[in-house]
Amino acid sequence: MRPLRALAATAVALALLAGCSDDDPAPTKPSSTPTESHSPTASPTPKTPEEPTLPDAATRATEAGARAFITYYWDLINYAQVTGDVKALKRVSGPGCNGCDIGISAVSDHYARGGHIEGGDYAVSIVKINQLKDPNLEALAFEAKLRARNEPQVITHGDGAEERHKAGQSTALVAVLWTDKGWRLEAMEIQ
């Protein structure tokens, strides 16, 4: 395993490999005659993302529950990237999860400095999951290897500078722990 890298402008400790195209459609001229009248059309209002809801399956202390929670965690990453709202991620991240802390801080700091992030949504698939069995560990825990694919992304800094990243893929190792409050992400390492 490689050590976890600090990710300055990333969202929640995943290596951003996302980006956007520079192709803009050519502006078009309206085709109208002087005698026509047109009502102004309102621009579509951008849809405000809603915080993901914890799926029912993720409320159970089972392997299926751990799987559902891991997917939910990445939904929260997607939400945090586009909103800057990291409260839910903090709630479900363990106190010793350095990978979680790095990502949460990166997103929070980026938005605090006036920046924002567009795109980069992750879709994760669990490649392998194993229950951690340790006689010293009384709680239920799983480790999982994930494949995370992300969409193109534009990171806009507070000064207006942009970073464009292409779609990409990364692999991550995570560990989740069942607690009296439910599942919690205890470790995240990008490979």
pLDDT for residue 26: 32
Angle at 47 between CA 117 and CA 158, to 5 degrees: 25
Q: Which residue is associated with the tokens 């698939």?
A: 125
Total domains, the chain: 1
- Does a structural domain hold residue 47? no
- Does a structural domain hold residue 45? no
pLDDT for residue 46: 58
Strands of the 162-165 sheet, one edge to the other: 116-119, 153-156, 162-165
Amino acid 94 reads G
Amino acid 111 reads Y
pLDDT for residue 28: 31
pLDDT for residue 44: 54
- Does a structural domain hold residue 66? yes
pLDDT for residue 84: 97
User: Among candidates 18, 42, 20, 40, which has minimal Cα distance to 30?
Assistant: 40
pLDDT for residue 48: 78
Q: Write out the two tokens for 5.
A: 């890298």
CA gap 144, 81 in Å, rounded: 23
User: In whole angstroms, how far apart are CA 128 and each of 54, 55, 95?
Assistant: 22, 21, 25
- Does a structural domain hold residue 16? no
**DSSP three-state, residue 52:** coil
Record the pTM: 0.76
- Does a structural domain hold residue 49? no
Give me the residues of the chain with pLDDT under 50, please: 1-41, 43
- In which domain, by residue range, is 148 found? 56-190
Torsion of CA 73, 111, 109, 20, to 10 degrees: 70
Q: Write out the two tokens for 52.
A: 């993901």
pLDDT for residue 102: 95
Strands 141-150 and 116-119, how do they pair?
unpaired
pLDDT for residue 23: 34
Whichever domain contains 114, its CATH number is 3.10.450.240
Residue 93 DSSP one-character state: B
- Does a structural domain hold residue 125? yes
- Does a structural domain hold residue 76? yes
- Does a structural domain hold residue 43? no
